[in-house]
Amino acid sequence: MRVLEALLDVFRNPQFYSISLTASTPLIFASLGGVFSEITGVVNIALEGIMLMGAFVSTAFTYYTGDPWIGILMAMVVGMGVAWLHAWASIKWWGDQIVSGTAIILMAQGITGFLMKPVFGQVGQTDLEKFKMVKHITREINPIIKPIKLPIPEKTFLGQAIGTISPLVILAFVSVFIGWFIIYKTTLGLRMRSVGENPEAADTLGVNVYGIRYFGVMMSGVFASIGGAFLSVGDTGIFKELMTGGRGFIALAAMILGNWNPIGAMLASILFGASEAFANQLQSSKLIEVSSSVKPLFNMVPFVVTLIVISGFIGKTRPPSADGVPYKKTD
Amino acid sequence: MYEEYAVVMKGIVKRFPGVLANDHVDLFVRKGEIHAVVGENGAGKTTLMNQLYGLLHPDEGDIYIFGNKVIIRGPKDAIKNGIGMVHQHFMLVGNLTVAENVVLGSETTRGGVIFDLREARRKVKELSERYGLHVDVDAKIEDIPVGMQQRVEIIKTLYRGAEILVFDEPTAVLTPQETEELFEVMRRLKAAGKTMIFISHKLNEVMEISDNITVMRLGKVTANLVTRETNPREIARAMVGRDVVLRVEKPPHEPKEVVFEVEDLWVKDNRGLDAVRGVSLKVRAGEIVGIAGVAGNGQSEFVEAITGLRKIERGKVTLLGRDITGLDPRSLRNMRMTHIPEDRHKYGMVLQYPAYYNMILGKHWWEPYSVRGFLNHPAIFEGSKELFEEFDVRPRNVNMLGGNFSGGNQQKIVVAREVSGNPKFTAIAQPTRGLDVGAIEFIHRTILKLRENDVAILLVSMELEEIFSLSDRILVMYEGRIMGEVMPEKTTVEEVGLMMAGKRLEEVRT
């Protein structure tokens, strides 16, 4: 009974909803990125690595300029660059997209780990206090993007849940809508979908297959890196080695569950984000004793949910036909 | 110059490494006619058309469109010159709707960026009504039948303002009814003043639809014929370079004991629906039993089930008096059952294997190809070389990869493997799909030779012509059931056609 009460208690707590949103946001960005890439026919498991780069770059530039928005902007640039690398290998050179993606993940993990010391002066994770001690910045800096207050009375349940919210969370939902509009309502989107489904047919009609694929992959880099940056400058204010912790892959799962549709991917991301928040809240519940040795088990919850949902839904979703297949122009 | 012609290709030469694909080819297509270009596979028809459509560029020669000399650099130039191509393998995007497919690449827009689907639908509807093309503009391509997909391809060319339409083997994928519908559409287009080039190697279709014929052989034009003044025999001679027997003669042959028997067979398709619903039949030694039907009426599932490739839900299969229901392909092969599958690339051969392995697949565990569990390569080479000679596979190179042979020669490899080694029963599906007249004649002769050697033969084909000329008995399959059994000499194409459309023999004959 106590366990049941603890479960109900989680749902009654407004904090659960605000944490759910925070946990969902990086997934929303990254899964939207996944949609952009895969809908044009390029599998992008590099999302995990691009997110990590985004988290690192945004922290580094915030550290040196004092402005987390510049950090975000630079993360987008670098994310696009890393995605370009994946696009170049898999579009221009018909490389195996899984291999290229894996290589980028490993590269991102290596580079960010290696640069910890030269950039932040310490390994493992950055220290909030240290930000204030950088010599060339005289004023005190806030490494976290300032949340905005929504006009909702603070005392209400809703106000406590989402009254104060990071602008990046709002940007995530706006991006999803824009992404959906591009993919389903513009000529560019029609061409993106055709290129991912039957590039040869698109080519005979004068659609620039390679150009559109580059666009899709590079946009995925932009979105995934914002998702990564949210983890650091959007939420915690610190960068930790390997801090993405598999979220890039969960985002891919959300994309599949959402049937390669931005709205669907967003809903799936919220489901996975909520399960993360749920596990988080439950293990710190005062109603049940959770010994620290079992806590890692709770961290599995989002992954278990992913597995269950994916195995239940996988037959009902349909990937783009040419997803993962390099297009070779014949002449 | 050439004002009365829609298309003139003059002195076209196209070389590929080691091959002269087009050797000073002249093609004259008058305005508003349907002009057939015929020839065997590899005669250079498609190469010629690809140069007209800008996918290839001629090494020598000139192209004139409506009297103007043009240089066609790519499909975009071709479209600009009013040339549209209906490809053999449809160039359609499966998850987009008909309207979206038609306008893709030249979309209707609002403000140049936003896709105007309403306008696209309107235009496509208008085109489809004007030429009687009957398409559902909002259906997704993957949900519509092949015939309608082809009409979408035609609308695509019309939407881009095509005056000259090139049809590359358009009937290869169609049922007889769909072919008739296509010809109706072509006649309507002709009445509307369009010029059409029709590439084919099916002579009866060429005779039916075309006005003039250009025949190609080995990269050269061998004949320019007026359809009204010629006949299939003359075309075939120009195509093959010798007299061809269009319908092989079937000597009388008395069938012997029942070898193969199926009782009340039920099989499901990939979606789990009943594809074969209670089929029973017998095949005797030295007899060819033909199964006619429109594609997708359970024939494929039936053949897969009896050859051990698909699960049998209910019923009994007997070979030489032994119950073989549900046996695996290897056991069936050990009982001398062989199978010429309808999809030679998927089930017939391994394209990445050299020919000598493809020649022994399915009997590689037999002596002499295998000795004590090890492959005996000298015997494999020898056996393959002999079969290459016997079945005239070209080129005579057993080391060449299966995928590098032409379609006709690939099929010869499959047939050679399946008919050699004294089979008792052979299931043959679509043996001549995509082959040219010369290869068809060879395959048909081989099947009849098998019959003379008292092999029991089950022949599944969508080609009525083939069923009629080879079978001793014809069964017609419709939605997984046998509609009736007829003798080829005592029935008509119309009667069989009605059964293919779902009428039982009793209903047809009353």
DSSP assignment of A157-210, as one string? Answer: HHHHHHSEE-HHHHHHHHHHHHHHHHHHHBHHHHHHHHHHH-HHHHHHTT--HH
For range A53-72, the mean pLDDT: 91
- At B178 the pLDDT is 81
- Nearest neighbour of B104 by CB, restricted to A202, A321, A331: A202
Q: Which chain B residues touch A193 with a CB distance below 8 Å?
A: 93, 95-96
CA distance A177 to chain B (A): 15
Average pLDDT, chain B: 90
- At B226 the pLDDT is 95
Residue with tokens 């945004």: A58
**Which helix (H) or strand (E) is B302 found in, with range?**
helix B299-306
For range A208-214, the mean pLDDT: 95
- At A55 the pLDDT is 96
- Interface residues of A toward B, Cβ cutoff 8 Å, are 185-191, 193-194, 197-198, 200-202, 204-207, 318, 320-321, 331
A197, B94: Cβ pair inside 8 Å? yes
Grade residue B497 by pLDDT with cuts at 50, 70 and 90: confident
Q: Taking the model in full, what pTM does it have?
A: 0.76
Q: Is the pLDDT of residue A329 over 80?
A: no
**Which helix (H) or strand (E) is B425 found in, with range?**
strand B425-429
Extract the tokens encoding B431: 């043996």
Residue spans of beta strands (DSSP E) within B233-341: 258-268, 274-284, 288-292, 312-319, 322-323, 337-340
For range B103-114, the mean pLDDT: 89
Q: Residue A58: which of A231, A174, A245 has the closest Cα?
A: A231
Q: Which chain B residues touch A187 with a CB distance below 8 Å?
A: 107, 109, 113-115
For range A105-132, the mean pLDDT: 84
**Residue B3 DSSP symbol:** T
Q: Residue A169: which of A220, A81, A231, A219 has the closest Cα?
A: A231
Between vectors from CA B84 to CA B80 and to CA B87, what angle results, nearest 5°? 140
Q: Residue B276: which of B288, B293, B259, B260 has the closest Cα?
A: B293
Residue with tokens 């895969």: A38
**CATH topology for A2-135+166-313?**
ABC transporter involved in vitamin B12 uptake, BtuC (1.10.3470)
How far apart are the C-alpha atoms of B433 and B445, rounded to whole Å? 16
Q: Is the pLDDT of residue A132 over 60?
A: no
Highest mean pLDDT pick, A322-331, B84-93, B466-475: B466-475
For range A257-283, the mean pLDDT: 92
CA distances (Å), A88 to each of A83, A253, A301, in order?
8, 24, 36
For range B18-47, the mean pLDDT: 89
Is residue B113 less than 8 Å (CB to CB) from chain A?
A: yes
How far apart are the C-alpha atoms of B478 and B295, rounded to whole Å? 9
CA distance B44 to chain A (A): 16
3-state secondary structure of A324: coil
Q: Is the pLDDT of residue B496 over 90?
A: no
Residue spans of beta strands (DSSP E) within B218-273: 220-226, 258-268
CA distance B479 to chain A (A): 27
How far apart are the C-alpha atoms of B116 and B122, rounded to whole Å? 10
Residues 6 or more apart whose Cβ sits within 8 Å of residue B495: B486, B508, B509
- At B222 the pLDDT is 92
Residues 6 or more apart whose Cβ sits within 8 Å of residue B479: B277, B297, B298, B502
CB B341 within 8 A of CB B329: no
- At A296 the pLDDT is 79
- Burial of B28: CB neighbours in 10 Å, binned 0-12, 13-18, 19+: middle
Residues 6 or more apart whose Cβ sits within 8 Å of residue A173: A28, A266
Extract the tokens encoding A212: 């559109």
| Phi, psi for residue A146 in degrees, rounded to 5 | -65, 125
3-state secondary structure of B453: coil
Average pLDDT, chain A: 89
- Nearest neighbour of A190 by CB, restricted to B75, B85, B107: B107
How far apart are the C-alpha atoms of A20 and A275, rounded to whole Å? 8
How far apart are the C-alpha atoms of A259 and A118, rounded to whole Å? 42
Q: How many residues are recorded in chain A?
A: 331
**DSSP string spanning B347-386?**
II--TTSBHHHHTTTTSTTSTTTEETTEE-HHHHHHHHHH
**Which helix (H) or strand (E) is B444 found in, with range?**
helix B437-452
Extract the tokens encoding A275: 């399960």
Comparing alpha-carbon positions, the chain A residue that sits nearest to B96 is A194
Comparing alpha-carbon positions, the chain A residue that sits nearest to B91 is A201
- At B30 the pLDDT is 95
More confident residue, B332 or B343: B332
Residues B376-409 as b/e (b if ≥16 CB within 10 A, e otherwise) read: beeebeebbbebbeebebeeeebebebeebbbbb
- At B322 the pLDDT is 94
- At A129 the pLDDT is 65
For range B463-479, the mean pLDDT: 91
How far apart are the C-alpha atoms of B153 and B144, rounded to whole Å? 13
Domain layout of chain A by residue ranges: 2-135+166-313
Rounded percentage of chain B residues whose pLDDT exceeds 90: 63
How far apart are the C-alpha atoms of A272 and A249, rounded to whole Å? 12
Is residue B114 less than 8 Å (CB to CB) from chain A?
A: yes
Comparing alpha-carbon positions, the chain A residue that sits nearest to B110 is A186
Residue B322 bridge partners (DSSP)? B319
Grade residue A133 by pLDDT with cuts at 50, 70 and 90: low
Q: Is the pLDDT of residue B413 over 80?
A: yes
How far apart are the C-alpha atoms of A117 and B263, rounded to whole Å? 78
Task: Measure the N-to-C terminal CA separation of chain A; round to a whole number of Å.
Answer: 71
Residues B460-478 as b/e (b if ≥16 CB within 10 A, e otherwise) read: bbbbbebbbbbbbbbbbbb
